[in-house]
Amino acid sequence: MVSEVILNVLVQSYERRATMASWTSPITNRTIATHPSYGTTDLNRVEENSEYLSNLLNSMNYTQSVITDYTWLRTEWFALSDATQYLLNISTIRSVLTLPITTPTVPSSLDDLTFTIANDIEKIQLDVYELANAIVYESNLKRAGTFGAVAGADIGLI
């Protein structure tokens, strides 16, 4: 009971460090039937998740930074410089941790954005999110004086 309380406090302290942006579940299975277009909602979700992950990784002493804008409106143009920064953010986040071999690579451009590329971008974020949280969880178990394997063994932790 005491170790569970300590663990909850430690998890909450990590979560508070990454509160500037919030995490929104990524879409990794879009199809033309479920998401016929890629729009500002998608751009804003990915950008905010990039900021969230950057804050989380920084709180874990994995120092890096991203430049995000998650206030896109339908009336705005997404310029080449915006697309470049968008992908640079994904690349920066992806490069911090050693991810599973199933994690997609970062696309070189958004010129020919397909459902697969859009899904891959958010799959990268999901993999980083899951691994970072598994690391936090294991770290908190050690600090709480408990012993055990991380429940995320299928993402490469022992």
The pLDDT tens digits along the chain (158 residues) read 444 544 454 455 444 444 468 999 999 999 989 988 889 999 999 999 999 999 999 999 999 999 988 887 777 788 888 999 999 999 999 999 999 999 999 999 999 999 999 999 999 999 999 999 999 887 766 655 555 555 554 555 44
Nearest Cα residue to 37 out of 98, 105, 99, 118: 118
Nearest Cα residue to 21 out of 42, 47, 52, 46: 52
pLDDT reported for residue 43: 93
Provide the domain count of the chain: 1
How many beta carbons lie within 10 A of that of residue 120, not counting itself?
18
Taking the model in full, what pTM does it have?
Answer: 0.77
Q: Using CA atoms, how far apart are residues 43 and 1, in angstroms rounded to an integer?
A: 42
pLDDT reported for residue 10: 47
For CA atoms 46, 52, 58, 60, give the dihedral sign.
Answer: negative
pLDDT reported for residue 77: 80
Domain that holds residue 33: 2-155
pLDDT reported for residue 6: 47
- Cβ atoms of 93 and 18 closer than 8 Å: no
Helix, strand, coil fractions of the chain, as percent rounded to 5: 55, 0, 45
